[in-house]
A and B are shown apart, each in its own frame.
Chain A
Amino acid sequence: MSIWEYANPRKFLQSSERVMPVLWLSSGVLISVGLIWGFFFTPDDYRQGSTVKIIFLHVPAALMAINAWFMMLVASLIWVVRRHHVSALAAKAAAPVGIVMTLIALATGAIWGQPMWGTWWAWDPRLTSFLVLFLFYLGYIALWEAIDNPDTAADLTAILCLVGTVFAVLSRYAVNFWNQGLHQGASLSLDEKENVADAFSNPLYVCMAGFALFFLALVFYRTGTEIRARRIKALLARQRQEA
């Protein structure tokens, strides 16, 4: 029993279909519990008032925006090294989910920033690198759409993902140098001094787990769709040949 068994599309579809209902249900429960807990059963912050509660959407979305790119990187590497089609399709399937997560993080940040920082947007390092990440997602998706041959598209986008990762990290540190930050430090880190208060962190963990499972469910679902679309294309091509 090895993980590479799931490189077989049929096996992947079978198992993902068995797992998906669990994922949908648990992510739905976790996100609703986390959001209701966070929105209605945590105290208001003494300075930020109730606006602080947007953290329960903002932080998990930002977390998944970065992790989605990381997942695409791993999937692209697997495609480049081992040529498993499911892996390439999973990377393709994750990109639109990641870009939506990036947009959610940017939008909730802007909505929170308007009353708190007095501005919708500032050229802060964190904000800027998220905008750059958004542009990388855009280019990646556009390249997938532009190329007809699926294998060529998978190869080219995989290399773009690898190169893009290097440049995204470079940009992250370059913008640090270019402007001082307005954004607060990490909400949750091992260094406990700068963390958010306990009252907020527990529902936040629940939301983060919910978002992660939700992301997994979406990627499984979209990968299944891509595999089926590929099969339909192959069937149609065979039919045309026979006719």
Chain B
Amino acid sequence: MMALLIRDLRLAVRAGGGFGLGLAFFLIVTVLVPFAVGPQSDLLARIAPGVLWLGALLSCLLSLDRLLALDWEDGSLDLLATAPLPLEAVISIKALAHWITTGLPLVLAAPLLGVLLNLPLDGYRWLVVSLLLGTPALSVIGTFGAALTVGLKRGGLLLSLLVMPLYVPTLIFGAEAARRGAMGMGVETPLLMLAGISAGVIALMPFASAAVLRINLR
């Protein structure tokens, strides 16, 4: 399992696997928002948590179609499926590698971009905490979408269409926690709900993803 994780991380960093791409996309989205809604700092401060959450979600979405596609094309996915490691574990490791290469950098970059959007001082802590709790769920749910569409030639757009409704609960609770944090309100309830979703999804989703992948590899 460690070997697979290290292999995936190496591939992501060295082989131009779009490691920095998600981060750059996050930057662009956040920079474009003030151009679209105007530079008033109070308005930006109010929408900053939501914009940052949405930007993180979109960058996550953008990197999903490369998650399994390369392994599918060169056949290493077939090898992994016949390996002694259960496919559920393989898919969990894939999601973990995706989170480390996409989710974690987003979490670290979010406070920097918060400065651009004039995020209130109280908000930084809860923004980072909510993203830290929420992005694993985004990666795991996204892996399910990637496994569903892996065999398709033009799967990218379909992948977004399938995954976006699945992201709704995570986005609601994550953005709500960040918003309440920025406004100095209690964040406990949405944060606990978000953590619950993440935990549930991490525990159960690999089974669905592996089932879907087995069907596609048939």
Determine the chain B residues whose CB is within 8 A of the CB of A155 once the complex forms: 215
A46 CB within 8 Å of chain B: no
Which DSSP category, helix, strand, loop or mixed, fits chain A's interface? helix
**Is there a chain A Cβ closer than 8 Å to B212's Cβ?**
yes
Q: Which residues of B contact A152 (CB under 8 A)?
A: 151, 215-216, 218
A178 on interface, CB distance cutoff 8 Å: yes
CB-CB contacts below 8 Å: A150-172 with B: 152, 155-156, 159-160, 162-164, 167-168, 170-171
Among B161, B166, B197, B215, point to the contact of A156 (Cβ < 8 A): B215
In the complex, the chain A residue whose C-beta lies closest to that of B212 is A159
**B161 in contact with A142 (CB, 8 Å):** yes
Contacts of B208 in A (CB 8 A): 159, 162-163
Contacts of B189 in A (CB 8 A): 177
Interface string of B99-143 (1 = CB under 8 A from A): 000000000000000000000000000000000000000000000
Number of interface residues of B (CB under 8 A): 29
The residue on B at minimum CB distance from A169 is B169
Question: B158 to chain A: which residues have CB within 8 Å?
Answer: 139, 142-143, 146
- Beyond A152-B216, A156-B212, whether A174 also contacts B166 by CB under 8 A is no
Bound-state Cα–Cα, A5 to B162, Å: 34
User: Across the interface, which residues of B come within 8 angstroms of A142, CB to CB?
Assistant: 158, 161-162
- Across chains A and B, the number of contacting residue pairs, with CB separation under 8 Å, is 75
A160→B165 CA distance, assembly (Å): 12
B172 touches A167 (CB 8 A): no
- For B181-218 the 0/1 string (1 means CB < 8 A from A) is 00000000110010001000000010010011001101
Could you tell me if A174 and B161 are in contact, using CB atoms closer than 8 angstroms?
no
In the assembled complex, A175 has its CB within 8 A of some CB on chain B? yes
- Whole-angstrom distance between the alpha carbons of A159 and B216 in the complex? 12
CB pair A160 B148 closer than 8 Å: yes
A156 touches B216 (CB 8 A): yes
If A143-B158, A146-B152, A177-B193 touch, whether A164 touches B172 (CB-CB below 8 Å) is no
Are B169 and A171 interface neighbours, CB within 8 A? yes
Query: In the complex the two chains form, is A135's CB within 8 Å of B164's CB?
Result: yes
Contact B212 A167 (CB under 8 A): no
B215 touches A174 (CB 8 A): no
B81 to chain A, nearest CB (A): 15
Size category, A interface: 20 to 34
On whether the beta carbons of A170 and B197 are closer than 8 Å, the reply is yes
A186 CB to closest chain B CB, in angstroms? Answer: 23
Whether B218 lies near A138 (C-beta < 8 A) is no
Does chain A have a CB within 8 A of B65? no
**Is the beta-carbon distance between B168 and A167 smaller than 8 angstroms?**
yes
* B161:A178 contact, CB within 8 angstroms: no
Cβ contact within 8 Å between A174 and B169: yes
Contact of B165 with A136 in the complex, beta carbons under 8 Å: yes
Of chain A, the residue at the smallest CB distance from B167 is A167
- Taking CB atoms, residues of chain B closer than 8 Å to A170 are 168-169, 197
- Shortest distance from the beta carbon of A157 to any chain B beta carbon, whole Å: 9
Interface flags, A121-158, vs B, CB<8A=1, else 0: 00000000000100110110011001100001001100
Q: Are A139 and B172 in contact (CB under 8 A)?
A: no
- The verdict on A178 contacting B172 (CB below 8 Å), with A138-B161, A160-B162, A164-B166 known, is yes
Interface on B for A, CB 8 Å cutoff? Answer: 144, 148-149, 151-152, 154-155, 158, 161-162, 164-166, 168-169, 172-173, 176, 189-190, 193, 197, 205, 208, 211-212, 215-216, 218
14 extra interface residue pairs, beta carbon distance < 8 Å, beyond A143-B148, A143-B162 = A132-B165, A139-B158, A146-B154, A152-B151, A155-B215, A159-B215, A163-B144, A163-B205, A163-B208, A164-B165, A164-B166, A174-B169, A177-B190, A177-B193
